[in-house]
Structure 1
Amino acid sequence: MTENLRVRLADTDIPLGPLDGRYRGYVADLVDHLSEAALNRNRVHVEVEWFIHLADGQVVPGLEKLTDAQRDGLRAIVTDFDEASVTELAETEAVTVHDVKAVEYFIANRLEGLGLGHLGSLVHFACTSEDINNLSYALGVRDAISDVWVPAAKKMVDAIANVANSAVETPMLSRTHGQPATPTTLGKEMAVFVHRLNRQLRRISTQQFMGKINGATGTYAAHVAAVPHANWPVIAQDFVEGLGLTFNPLTTQIENHDWMSELYDDIARFNQILHGFCVDVWSYISIGYFAQIPVEGATGSSTMPHKVNPIRFENAEANLELSNALLTSLGSTLIESRWQRDLTDSTSQRNIGVAFGHSILALNNVTRGMAQLDVAEPALAADLDTNWEVLGEAIQTVMRAEAIAGTEGMENPYERLKDLTRGNRVDAQRMREFVGELGLSEAAAQRLKDLTPQTYTGLAAELAREQLDK
């Protein structure tokens, strides 16, 4: 009975997915590059520029160069592309049952008003749909990376670097295999991730965005049949590079998508490094190394009022996993195509924006999360003060150096420290007594007696500063 009375939500404009619903505000900038509407606008852009390229190059006999007004009018079809254009294209596609053919008609219908009605056959000249699609996707992905993803990634890395700089000298007990280990500084551990993430950003910044426009099976067959005297490979290369893309000179019907696979692998690797960072920060919060700054009016738990949950890092983890699931799928499937062409890439590529969207959402969460952290220096200091046994490494290594220098009584340094520290809690007094009993040179003995877990951080601060300054 309830089923029959309820409002049918499917008849509303309510979105199916969270990226177009709950999280729309965080990922909206991607719509301008990776939505279906953006794809169609890019298709119009490519078709228009190919028309201009052929006309101004007078490639086909009988063509004359366009006037400035005609050229501007053609490009205005792209710059004026709006919701009404989207609707018109959808209505045309409902008849053609072909998205790229709808774009061809969309442009041809506007030529008469530009005094170009007689050149309707020049629209989509010698092109297969994939000639237009591969270039359109390349433009969309390129601009999404440069205008949206990279700025968000850099902002997030800067947020991590800010915490790293503020805690560059704050000593912290390391935990290798989850056990107390040689101390470091909190800032150095944050700087490790800054260094790793920036390295991936540098790789992504050098990515080639490739394109082709060589016909139904990559042979320029129709081009040569229509205009045999033209140097079509050069014409195509000039056109692709004129769009700001890298020319792929040898393909099947499709541009092979290898560059996409490379890019998505790099972004997925960035995401996975960031996932590891989120796990580490979550764990540091859990043991009290970070205190979370409460957000005014926010609820941590619906039943436990004392809680401030690390939701930013948990949310980021989940979205990084979703992003990588899609990026990994795209990276592995897009580089395969049955013989000269199949359409598996058509549906796959429509999810590029979703993959980027979940990554952007994660970047935003980490950026916000870092701003809500406060370094709990008393907790860090207390942890160090209860783990004096971590100095065992320093003592046995000094003993080895003393033995090489000829000091007597330095036999079995590792074993002697193992007997002292393994499974035992050793306080400052006992550690200093042990050092005093070893018979070290005066300088070495004093160096070790002055050493504490808080000062046993080696070059951590210097190493971190070197990378953070870059």
Structure 2
Amino acid sequence: MISRNIFDNISPLDHRYSLREEEFNQYSKYLSEGAKVKYQAQVELALVKALAKGGICSQAVVEEVEEAVSALTPEEVYQEESKTRHNIRALVNCIQKRVSKEAKPYIHFTTTSFDIVDTANALRYKVATEELILPKLKKLEEILMEIALREKDTVQVGRTHGQHAVPITFGFAVAEYVSRLGNKIKDVKESGTDLRGKIAGAVGAYNASHLFFEDPEAFEADVLAELDLKASTHSTQIVEPEYLTDFVHNLISCFGIIASFSDDMRHLQRSEIGEVGEYFAKDQVGSSTMPHKRNPINYENVKSMWKAFMPRMITLYQDQLSEHQRDLTNSASSRFIPELIVGLLSSVNRLIRVCQKLVVDYDNMEKNFDTNKEMIVAEPLYILLASYGHPDAHEAVRILTLEAEKSDKNLRDLIKESKDLKPYWEKFDPRQREILVNPDKYIGIASKKTEKVVEYWKSELGI
């Protein structure tokens, strides 16, 4: 079979983003071409097991097929396909070559190619969800939880529209992503573990299996039970595409969440902000020509990978369309779904490594907050004025902010100098005045909300 140096491969997933041997081995166990052949062979074996349970063939046939399947290699299947020009027929031929004449008739008995293809894909994506995707997503979620709790009291200026808003805490900012990712982990679990298979024949009407079974749907259920799968409610030659579409949509949505988080972290590393930083190794280089630079390459990489794989969701939506009982327009496009999964997992693994060493610059966070802390009190000031009956509090404070910008005075000084506003100031209670004097106290329940969010998702996800 073909053997290449990985650097002769075309896809960056092969020669750049799967260089860590442990990660590559994890991906290939479920998502490689070899894995696909293995799972397809497992469906053929499940078929024979169900036939034996129904008295159609003997247990000896099952044992023969089991041995044949265990010895099967993707190389021999591909070699056979070079003659058949049909991948599933090649798979069937290779299994039949390894069994007796008595066993040969029961390989692929009553099934069509996409009984095997769609069921095998459902099986491997389901197992990958349980054993690979969810553990990785939960690991990242756990790290984000740790950061959120650690920084739940670290005051940070909030930002909306790229402008300083009112105070939050850095932990509260991270808790946003704990919640968003938590919701999507639940969706990935639900859709990934509910992928469906079919043993319904060429057009989904059980034409062939009905020749032998009074209840072919029960036979289908028996085959799929061997694989811990359920049947699609209605199949044509293919499984209803929405099961897979929803699963991939949830993966892409996860990708969008971690890309958004990465974009936030990337902007917080801007020279003029400098509130967080990636760990920078001793010999790491930030620029080929500017030795002083420390670029946020990991967060930028995640966003870049999202840009590469997010548009592929359009292909999945297009694959919902199949003419009548089936056409071949999803045959090639569906083969690229494993790449999308690897792209996501590569980025998740990258964030796991980076976030474990996230550096927070507390001095810069405080400095940036202090830049506009006197203006930040405009919101609580206007709300307090309104609560004590001022007829146009927002406009009054807006005018004060303009005066403050032109002078060295803060809003507190100006309100006490104003004949119209000073009586309101005197009505404020000590706690209210404290917030106006110390804007870093104006963080609402950011800290408590962070704790609440983390505890909720710990419980929901079993972390």
CA contact (8 A) 1:212 1:249 kept: no
Equivalents in 2 of 1:421, 1:93: separation in Å? Answer: 76
Identify which range, 355-364 or 154-163, moves more after superposition. Answer: 154-163
Equivalents in 2 of 1:11, 1:433: separation in Å? Answer: 74
1:434, CA displacement in angstroms?
Answer: 3.5
SS at match of 1:364: helix
1:92 aligns with 2:80: yes
1:11, CA displacement in angstroms?
Answer: 8.2
Change (3 A) 1:266 1:11: closer
Change (3 A) 1:427 1:355: farther
1:448, CA displacement in angstroms?
Answer: 3.6
2:433 to 449, 457, 465: 449
Equivalents in 2 of 1:134, 1:95: separation in Å? Answer: 23
Partner residue of 1:406? none
1:72, CA displacement in angstroms?
Answer: 4.6
Partner residue of 1:32? 29
Equivalents in 2 of 1:11, 1:132: separation in Å? Answer: 30
Partner residue of 2:396? 416
Aligned length: 439
Equivalents in 1 of 2:79, 2:291: separation in Å? Answer: 54
- Structure 2 counterparts to residues 114-129 of structure 1, below 5 A: 117-129=101-113
Superposed CA deviations along residues 144-163 of structure 1, whole A, max 9, x for unmatched, are 22222222222222222222
CA contact (8 A) 1:211 1:240 kept: yes
Normalised TM-score (structure 2): 0.89
Change (3 A) 1:427 1:383: farther
1:73, CA displacement in angstroms?
Answer: 4.8
1:51 to 48, 52, 59: 48
Identify which range, 163-172 or 361-370, moves more after superposition. Answer: 361-370
Equivalents in 1 of 2:281, 2:125: separation in Å? Answer: 35
Equivalents in 1 of 2:148, 2:407: separation in Å? Answer: 30
Equivalents in 2 of 1:324, 1:316: separation in Å? Answer: 12
Change (3 A) 1:261 1:135: same
Identify which range, 139-148 or 25-34, moves more after superposition. Answer: 25-34
Superposed CA deviations along residues 311-362 of structure 1, whole A, max 9, x for unmatched, are 0001111111222122x13421221111211112111121011111111121
SS at match of 2:110: coil
Change (3 A) 1:101 1:188: same
Q: Could you tell me the percent identity over the aligned residues?
A: 25
1:230, CA displacement in angstroms?
Answer: 2.5
Partner residue of 2:320? 335
Change (3 A) 1:424 1:240: farther
Equivalents in 1 of 2:127, 2:317: separation in Å? Answer: 22
Structure 2: 5+ residue stretches without partners: 457-463
Structure 1: 5+ residue stretches without partners: 1-9, 404-409
1:180 to 164, 169, 172: 164
2:143 to 148, 159, 163: 159
1:179, CA displacement in angstroms?
Answer: 1.5
Partner residue of 2:412? 432
Change (3 A) 1:255 1:39: same
Superposed CA deviations along residues 280-305 of structure 1, whole A, max 9, x for unmatched, are 11111111111333212111112222
Equivalents in 1 of 2:293, 2:358: separation in Å? Answer: 15
Change (3 A) 1:277 1:156: same
1:93, CA displacement in angstroms?
Answer: 1.3
Change (3 A) 1:155 1:126: same
Equivalents in 1 of 2:214, 2:94: separation in Å? Answer: 28
CA contact (8 A) 1:257 1:335 kept: yes
1:427, CA displacement in angstroms?
Answer: 9.2
SS at match of 2:204: coil
1:300 aligns with 2:286: yes
Equivalents in 2 of 1:134, 1:383: separation in Å? Answer: 54
1:261 aligns with 2:245: yes
Normalised TM-score (structure 1): 0.88
1:453, CA displacement in angstroms?
Answer: 2.3
1:98, CA displacement in angstroms?
Answer: 1.1
Equivalents in 2 of 1:46, 1:160: separation in Å? Answer: 39
CA contact (8 A) 2:29 2:35 kept: yes
CA contact (8 A) 2:201 2:237 kept: yes
Equivalents in 1 of 2:402, 2:134: separation in Å? Answer: 47
Equivalents in 2 of 1:219, 1:427: separation in Å? Answer: 81
Partner residue of 1:75? 66
